[in-house]
């Protein structure tokens, strides 16, 4: 009897995790690699001595029936729940209190929780920065900066990484997949995490901001299941971030804190800045995923499917379905 096909999946963000979960459920062997310390990718949380703050994805929405069922499963497992912030919008001179009908979900106790939950049943090698994919006589091999040659005799290698990170890995192997990734324009974003010794006396928990350098602000501590010191998150708008991507963090923090102050915010006890070089895609593609069954190379990720956590999760499933169809047909 032939052994089950063995695949490598590079990137343990929500797209890679959803893809690997479905492949493993179909009894394929999947090895996941991520260069970061822990899974989750842009669904991420910074932790300090007595504080934490989600500094990537702020919440997720679930519209597609399959994803709604998955989020319900996460709620059942205690790793996600509804977040109902007092939501405002600042728009020039007007400030409006929004009674939102959108359901917003967050990871519990941090935005990383759903990813950790999915990763717990998968084989994930962290701190493995994959730098090369080699074609060998009996399949593919992946090599990392840290360990050199890792898995060999792979039937397929799937990338679940931001679009600009596709070319270095696939450039000699699949030019049309590289060209597809080249169509996705990913934008940067500055995030500023603020810590306060006491709760901040503002009458809102989150706000969309359509003025100045800010796009979004949120009282991280208002999300369910959080503890520790009060923390707030400020996200800069993509256009502003693009123009200031190479600025030093102090300069960025000064501009964002000034804008926060104009909305009633206070000076924090301390702050931490994080630069996302690839935060979102504008405009996102709607390919769903990409798969070359003839050579066993594929792509998934938010940038292929409308952006956002939901798009990423669905993209991973779409790729898994295509891969499974190929292996079943073989
Ligand atoms: P990622 O999460 O980026 O995962 C890719 C993974 O690949 C990473 O873990 C990375 O370490 C790994 N990787 C890359 N290259 C290599 C390599 N060579 N070797 C090994 N590993 C590698 N979405 C929402 O739905 N709601 C929001 O409110 C929201 N806000 C956001 C705010 C910000 C600032 C940012 C940055 C994103 C936000 N998003 C939001 C988008 C959301 O986070 C993403 O759509 C989603 O998390 C993308 O998942 P992914 O798996 O496609 O990619």
Q: Per-10-residue mean pLDDT for the chain, 330 residues long?
A: 83 98 97 97 95 98 98 98 96 76 96 98 96 95 93 95 98 96 97 96 95 97 95 97 97 98 95 98 95 98 97 98 88
| pLDDT tens track for 240-256 | 999 999 999 999 999 99
Which runs of consecutive H residues, i.e. helices, occur in the chain?
Answer: 14-25, 65-76, 113-119, 167-170, 175-182, 238-243, 249-262, 308-329
Q: Report d(CA 169, CA 192) in Å as an integer.
A: 31
| Statement: the pTM of the whole predicted model exceeds 0.85 | yes
Q: What pLDDT is recorded for position 330?
A: 63
Sign of the alpha-carbon torsion through 54, 21, 64, 103: negative
Q: Report d(CA 42, CA 48) in Å as an integer.
A: 18
Residues 264/202, Cβ–Cβ less than 8 Å: yes
Q: What pLDDT is recorded for position 2?
A: 59
Q: Tell me which residues have their CB closer than 6 angstroms to ligand 1.
A: 10-16, 33-36, 41-43, 56-60, 129-130, 160-162, 165, 189, 191, 235, 276, 279-280, 301-302, 307-309, 312
Best of 186, 217, 309, 311 for a ligand 1 pocket test (most atoms within 8 Å of beta carbon) = 309
**Ligand 1 center to 137 CA (angstroms):** 33
Q: Report d(CA 328, CA 309) in Å as an integer.
A: 29
Residues 30/20, Cβ–Cβ less than 8 Å: yes
Q: What pLDDT is recorded for position 101?
A: 83
């Amino acid at each position: 009897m032939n052994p089950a096909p063995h695949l490598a999946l590079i990137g343990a963000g929500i797209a890679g995790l959803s893809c690997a979960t479905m492949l493993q459920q179909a009894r394929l062997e999947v090895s996941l690699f991520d260069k970061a310390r822990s899974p989750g990718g842009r669904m991420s949380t910074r932790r300090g001595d007595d504080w934490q703050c989600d500094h990537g994805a702020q919440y997720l929405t679930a519209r597609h029936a399959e994803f709604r069922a998955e989020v319900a499963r996460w709620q059942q497992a205690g790793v996600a729940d509804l977040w109902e912030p007092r939501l405002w919008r600042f728009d020039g001179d007007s400030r409006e209190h929004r009674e939102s009908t959108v359901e917003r979900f967050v990871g519990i106790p941090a935005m990383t929780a759903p990813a950790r939950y999915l990763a717990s049943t998968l084989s994930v090698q962290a701190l493995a920065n994959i730098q090369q994919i080699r074609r060998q006589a009996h399949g593919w091999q992946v090599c990392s900066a840290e360990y050199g040659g890792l898995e060999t005799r792979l039937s397929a290698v799937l990338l679940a990484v931001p679009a600009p990170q596709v070319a270095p890995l696939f450039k000699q192997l699949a030019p049309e997949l590289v060209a597809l990734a080249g169509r996705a324009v990913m934008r940067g974003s500055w995030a500023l995490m603020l810590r306060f010794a006491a709760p901040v006396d503002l009458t809102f928990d989150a706000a969309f901001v359509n003025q100045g350098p800010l796009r979004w602000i949120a009282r991280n501590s208002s999300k369910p299941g959080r503890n520790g010191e009060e923390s707030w998150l400020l996200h800069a708008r993509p256009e502003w971030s693009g123009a200031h991507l190479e600025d030093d963090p102090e300069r960025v923090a000064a501009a964002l804190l000034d804008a926060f102050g104009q909305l009633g915010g206070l000076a924090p006890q301390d702050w931490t800045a994080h630069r996302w070089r690839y935060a979102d895609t504008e405009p996102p593609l709607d390919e769903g995923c990409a798969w070359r069954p003839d050579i066993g190379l594929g792509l998934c990720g938010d940038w292929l499917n409308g952006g956002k956590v939901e798009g990423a999760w669905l993209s991973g499933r779409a790729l898994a379905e295509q891969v499974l169809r190929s292996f079943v047909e073989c």
